[in-house]
Amino acid sequence: MESMEQVSTKPDNKKKKTKWEMLKKDLKKNKCIYLMAIPMIVYFILFHYMPMYGVLISFKDFNPRLGIWKSPWVGLKHFGTFFNSIYFKRTLKNTALLSFYSLLWGFPAAIILALLLNELKNEKFKRRIQTITYLPHFISLVVICGLIVDFTSTDGLINSILSNFGVEPTNWLTKPEWFRTIYIGSGLWQSIGWDSIIFLAALSGIDPSLYEAAKIDGAGRWKQMLHITLPALAPTIIVMFILNIGGLMSVGAQKVILLYNPLTWETSDVISSYVYRKGVQGAEYSFSTAVGLFESLIGFTLLIIANKLSKKITEESLW
């Protein structure tokens, strides 16, 4: 305790100097590691940071001929257009809710699938299921959404099942209250197998002797899962969760556009689909970049908050 305080009360310039020295020392000590970091640093600078000046477009009226630097400044005009739209609140809310519910259902589902697969005793059967659950990931969204439209239409599969229970047939995709359910349910269908792969990989790294020991102690399968499997999965789960939180504000346009129609826009129109429709009216580079920047800022803020919380609660964090 005392020594820590001493360090922090040292004069400023000296502290700076020590920082430099520490860095030098660190560079020397971890020479090999920094050597390994070079390709990564070069890559991110070349292909991510050098082109990043492109965000300037959102504060300009972009004209391709003038280029990004010479296009005229317009300040926050494009942000204003977005914030002042009567649909701003609605799309923001729909985006947040849609991705929040997706995370709420989809995230645990992938973990549960991995855990259930882990409990299967027949290896062959297990492998077969893994392979098959990962298939839908590869079918294009257009086909998947075409099937969904078929299933939910007035004379579709869902209605013909429900009619046995005396439910009046209806077109489910025209009901705003059902949109999120359909969107998230089909998302689960398409990605549960794929999403569980990363957890399966983590599961395979668990030392089997831990389970042996637990069995000898008389722990049942439930307890083994609770005390061995889950703790071993925890770092992966937490990192994936933090990354997912960061993605909360971005819902891709394609699937929404394939599934929505004006009757459900109340709940289905998200930021990206709104920007898409606006783009059809006229090429809107600046506007869409501005909206993208807004989404990124929120996403990044959420990520930092999630990371901080995680650090406090679980000591697991991105940095």
Q: Looking at residues 254 to 313 of the shown chain, list those that interact with other proteins (rule: CB under 8 A).
A: 261-263, 265-266, 269, 274, 277-278, 281-285, 289, 292-293, 296-297, 299-300, 303
Beta bridge partners of 60: 73
Nearer to other proteins, 2 or 69 (CB): 69
| Selected binder of other proteins within 1, 4, 7, 40 (CB under 8 A) | 40
What does the alpha-carbon distance between residue 159 and residue 151 come to, in Å, rounded to a whole number?
Answer: 8
For other proteins, give the closer residue by CB, 132 or 230.
Answer: 132
Partners of residue 73 on adjacent β-strands: 60
Q: How far is the CB of 186 from other proteins (least distance, A)?
A: 10
Nearest distance in Å: CB 11, other proteins: 21
What minimum distance in Å lies between the beta carbon of 89 and other proteins?
A: 13
Q: Name the residue nearer to other proteins (CB basis): 147 or 214.
A: 147
Inter-residue contact 289 to 55 (CB < 8 Å): yes
The whole-angstrom separation of Cα 23 and Cα 32 is 15
Judged by CB under 8 A, the residue of 18, 30, 181, 314 near other proteins is 30
Contact with other proteins (CB under 8 A): which of 79, 96, 153, 227?
A: 153
Q: Which is nearer to other proteins, 2 or 82 (CB)?
A: 82
Token pair for 148: 């969904």
Burial grade of 233 (CB within 10 A; 0-12, 13-18, 19 or more): buried
Instruction: Give 128-186 as a DSSP string.
Output: HHHHHHTGGGGS-HHHHHHHHHHHHSTTSHHHHHHGGGTPPP--GGG-HHHHHHHHHHH
What is the b/e burial string over 177-188, where b = at least 16 CB atoms within 10 angstroms of the residue's CB? ebbbebbbebbb
Region 227-256 residues binding other proteins, contact defined as CB under 8 A: 235-236, 239-240, 243, 246
Q: How far does CA 66 lie from the centroid of its chain? A: 36
Q: Which stretch binds other proteins (CB under 8 A): 3-11, 92-100, 194-202?
A: 194-202
Long-range contacts of 9-18 (CB under 8 A, 24+ apart): none
Pick between residue 2 and residue 96 the one whose CB is nearest to other proteins.
96
Q: Nearest distance from residue 101's CB to other proteins, in Å?
A: 20
Site string for other proteins, 63-102 (x = CB under 8 A): xxxxxx------------x---xxx---------------
Residues 161-190 touching other proteins, rule: CB under 8 A, are: 171, 173-174, 189
Considering only 8-16, 92-100, 142-150, which stretch makes contact with other proteins by CB under 8 A? 142-150
**Which residue, 120, 114, 139, 241, is CA-closest to 189?**
139
Q: Does 9 bind other proteins (CB under 8 A)?
A: no
Q: Contacting other proteins (CB under 8 A), which of 18, 22, 108, 167?
A: 22
Stretch that binds other proteins, among 8-16, 92-100, 138-146 (CB under 8 A): 138-146
State whether residue 201 is helix, strand or coil: helix
Q: Exposed, middle or buried by CB within 10 Å (0-12, 13-18, 19+), for 135?
A: exposed
Distance CA 151, CA 39 (A): 49
Q: Which CB atom, from 76 or from 157, has the smaller least distance to other proteins? A: 157
**Residue (of 216, 246, 273) closest to 90 by Cα position:** 273
State the minimum distance, in angstroms, from the CB of residue 318 to other proteins: 6
